[in-house]
């Protein structure tokens, strides 16, 4: 199997700005007993074994322990309904870690898969602003944290993160999730966020 994806990523966890999971590279305690965070991926260009994945979205909503590196995450997966059956299968293999690469390392932290849903995902971005909506389930919107009189995002550098070692810092303006099928809900409005371009391959 061979695959590659390149695109944009953002997240909105329930820590205060700045999240200690980032500064401790997943080895220190978060601000809360549990870490609730969506990992939102928009694929600009991608393929698996010649099958195009361009323009599709995947969201992993995670419920992790206070020290995320200890594993035992509970994860719900949402795949873009615009993907056909073959694309859905390809995205499932990539993001589950079954196809290798960076997701395979993350897969070792997952203790329980809550489920996989194919849903409408409305994703948009512009400089320093990222937004995603899944009707009836979630809405997340993150703005960059900038210095006064600057439009450049502050960054954390030289951390360990699956998307890259440099992470711009954000704060959510909307951060709601509620999926009654999994009895799982939270509101991260006003809390920590990160975003960046990413590229994975295997």
Per-residue pLDDT at 81 exceeds 80? yes
Domain assignment of residue 143, yes or no: yes
Domain assignment of residue 202, yes or no: no
- Split into its structural domains, the chain has a count of 1
- Percent of the chain residues topping a pLDDT of 90: 85
Tokens 């009654």 identify what position?
A: 180
**Residue ranges making up the domain that contains 73:** 3-186
Q: Tell me the pLDDT tens digit for each residue of 18-41.
A: 998 888 877 788 999 999 999 999
d(CA 11, CA 23): 15
Domain assignment of residue 195, yes or no: no
pLDDT of amino acid 1: 62
d(CA 5, CA 199): 6
Please check whether residue 1 is in contact with residue 191, taking contact to mean a CB–CB distance below 8 angstroms.
Answer: no
Mean pLDDT value of segment 81-87 = 98
Domain assignment of residue 192, yes or no: no
pLDDT of amino acid 24: 81
Domain assignment of residue 194, yes or no: no
Domain assignment of residue 35, yes or no: yes
pLDDT of amino acid 61: 98
d(CA 36, CA 200): 24
pTM: predicted TM-score of the whole model, two decimal places: 0.95
Please check whether residue 59 is in contact with residue 24, taking contact to mean a CB–CB distance below 8 angstroms.
Answer: no
Q: Tell me the pLDDT tens digit for each residue of 144-201.
A: 999 888 999 999 999 888 898 899 999 999 999 999 999 999 999 999 999 999 999 9
Instruction: Give the three-state DSSP class for 147.
Output: coil
Backbone angles phi, psi at 185, to 5 degrees: -150, 155
Separation in Å, CA 35 to CA 26, 88, 135, 186? 11, 27, 23, 10
Domain assignment of residue 17, yes or no: yes
Nearest to 108 by CA among 59, 52, 66, 70: 70
Domain assignment of residue 181, yes or no: yes
């Amino acid at each position: 199997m061979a695959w590659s994806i390149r695109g944009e990523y953002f997240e909105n966890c329930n820590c205060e700005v700045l999240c200690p999971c980032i500064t401790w590279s997943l080895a220190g305690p978060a601000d809360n007993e549990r870490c609730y965070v969506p990992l939102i991926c928009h694929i600009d260009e991608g393929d698996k074994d010649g099958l195009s994945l361009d323009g599709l979205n995947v969201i992993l909503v995670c419920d992790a322990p206070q020290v995320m590196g200890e594993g035992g995450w509970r994860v719900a997966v949402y795949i873009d309904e615009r993907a056909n059956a073959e694309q859905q299968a390809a995205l499932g293999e990539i993001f589950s870690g079954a196809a290798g690469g960076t997701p395979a390392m993350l897969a070792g932290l997952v203790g329980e898969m809550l489920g996989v849903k194919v849903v409408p995902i409305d994703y948009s971005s512009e400089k320093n602003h990222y937004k995603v909506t899944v009707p009836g389930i979630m809405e997340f919107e993150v703005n960059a944290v900038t210095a006064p009189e600057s439009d450049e995002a502050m960054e954390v550098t030289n951390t360990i993160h699956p998307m890259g070692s440099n992470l711009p810092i954000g704060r959510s303006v909307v951060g709601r999730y509620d999926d009654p099928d999994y009895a799982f809900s939270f509101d991260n409005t006003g809390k920590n966020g990160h975003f960046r371009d990413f590229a994975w391959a295997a």
